[in-house]
Chain A
Amino acid sequence: MAKITAGVGTSHVPLLGRIIDINQTDTEEWRPVFSGYDFTRQWIANEKPDVVVLVYNDHANAFDMKMIPTFAIGCGESYHPADEGYGARPVPPVKGDAELSWHIAQSVIQQGFDLTIINEMEVDHGLTVPMSLMFGQPEAWPCKVVPIMVNTVVYPAPSGERCLALGKAIRKAIESYDGDLNIQVWGTGGMSHQLLGARAGIINREWDTAFLDKLSDKQEELAKIPQTEYIRETGTEGSETVMWLIMRGALGDNVKEIHRHYHVPISNTALGHIVFETKD
């Protein structure tokens, strides 16, 4: 039977991908940022997940204003890195698990989440940067990916309650899958950042830290935070953090936090990272 064994939360700042791609992670400037992932990289090499259900948002790269799915699931066999305006990142194509994706889609839709099904799409830094942070620069990625894409670019993003509930539905779907798979769920994006207007550059370490503190056992409380509070407290783009609740919902009631990292700034953004193991 398939089992969700762990969850990972991480920011997906594009600059981090760039620094990895040009081999600068060990410089004096970047070491303090990337060393926060040393634990996770070793841990995941032992854990060897077969599949990662990776929750992220596109940033006007693979998708434009023509179509804006609120929740979507990739059901393809593979996904190529998008050209974000300066050439595609030099990372391997992402391998899908189409059979598992379709299973999750069917189960989750029947549980009341009308996901958009996507068979062909490119993936931007929202998905590929977390892969690089966890796995470095392999020839081929060591696991398959089920992309869950969330709209956080056009207001309104889905509510925290819907995100948490979607995570729970994904958990149910995976528990009913026959394949004997070790599955992780990752929530990406955030934390504090605002890329626009006179208030650009806002960083709220206190709010971000409280969010991380509550994520292990007060997720129902976090789910009640409205999008306006994310924007007011952590910036317009800080509202991406709501996606971490999909990850948390998929982990079941009891989790154990085994690692955390927080760093300000990565360019305009507060970097947050957390690792949970499931306990049942």
Chain B
Amino acid sequence: MALEKPYQDIPGTTVFDGDMARIGFHLNQFCMSLQSEENRKAFFADERGYMSKWPMSEEQIQAVLERDLNRLLALGGNIYYLVKITMAEGMSVAAAVSTMTDMSTEEYMDMMKKGGRSPEGNRYIGESE
């Protein structure tokens, strides 16, 4: 029996479940290595070369190079791990988060200041306008 996923009808949301953890294991462990300053330096000096130490897929490597967080989520990346890449570049978590939405960072921050994104119309795929 496949894993039960009652959250699959939530729009714009990737739940980090067992399937994601499985396909993203090496990607996330690579992200974790960026906790150390020495590794951050080695990564930024040669990103592709540094990532070759983990058996990541070419798609995952490409998505890291492009800092495509939505793609990385779909490829098993967990957000707490992924932001280690963007934080190492001095990007705030909120700015990194905004890149996954259809808004600019300014628009996203502005939405948050005004009380955030409403759950109305955002609970089920297809329910909004």
Contact = CB atoms under 8 A, between A and B. Distances in A.
Interface of A: 14, 59-61, 64-66, 83-86, 153-156, 192, 194-205, 207, 226, 228, 231-234, 236-237, 264-265, 267-268, 270
Given A204-B119, A228-B6, A65 B28 contact: yes
A57 to B, nearest CB: 10
A198 to B, nearest CB: 3
B66 interface: no
B116 A198 contact: no
Interface of B: 6-7, 10-18, 21, 25, 28-29, 31-32, 34-35, 69-70, 73, 78-81, 83-84, 87-88, 92-94, 97-98, 100-102, 108, 111-113, 115-119, 122-124
Given A65-B25, A153-B16, A194-B13, A232 B93 contact: no
Contact of B101 (A85, A201, A270): A201
B97 to A, nearest CB: 5
Contacts of B32: 60, 64-65
Contact of B117 (A196, A203, A226): A203
Contacts of B18: 154-155
A199 B116 contact: no
Nearest to A156: B17
B26 to A, nearest CB: 9
Contacts of A197: 12-14, 70, 73, 100-101
A153 to B, nearest CB: 6
B97 A268 contact: yes
Given A153-B78, A199-B10, 19 more contacts: A59-B80, A60-B78, A65-B29, A66-B29, A85-B34, A85-B35, A154-B21, A195-B97, A200-B108, A202-B117, A226-B6, A232-B124, A264-B115, A265-B112, A267-B112, A268-B93, A268-B94, A268-B97, A270-B116
